Amino acid sequence: MDVHLDRQKEDVLQILVTARHVDLTDDIRRYIDEKAGRLSRFYDRIHEVEVILDHQSEQFKAEIIVRADRKHTFVASLTGPDTFMLIDAITDKLERQLRTYKEKNRNHKGGALADDATG
């Protein structure tokens, strides 16, 4: 009996959201999923994104922790009055961190610097 299974390698990005003293609405959850899901465009070895929302006095605090392969962790956090604005600003920070790390890693492994040395 032959059994043939088609398995596609699917990298699943796990997005964990923790809300402390904040009501996590469906709109906020969808927005976080959309923004956090885009981070893998900047570095494809991301395994998990953890988002922590907290309400402190009159301000919201948001922190996003991105875990990638080889135990690389990228963290950004901000405090402000609007949750959506915080998510935007933090994902922008993380995009810069991921892009910088990827470029640094690429150059270290023999990208543009190796070409200049042989020329």
This prediction's pTM: 0.79
Tokens of 68: 């990638």
Asked if the model's pLDDT at residue 90 lies above 60, the reply is yes
What are residue 20's DSSP bridge partners? 54
Tell me, what's the pLDDT at 4? 37
Among 5-9, 22-26, 107-111, the range with the most confident prediction by mean pLDDT is: 22-26
Asked if the model's pLDDT at residue 33 lies above 70, the reply is yes
CATH annotation of 14-111: 3.30.160.100
Q: Tally the residues of the chain.
A: 119
Tell me, what's the pLDDT at 113? 46
Q: Cβ neighbours of residue 69 under 8 Å, at least 6 residues apart? A: 45, 47
First to last CA, the chain: 59
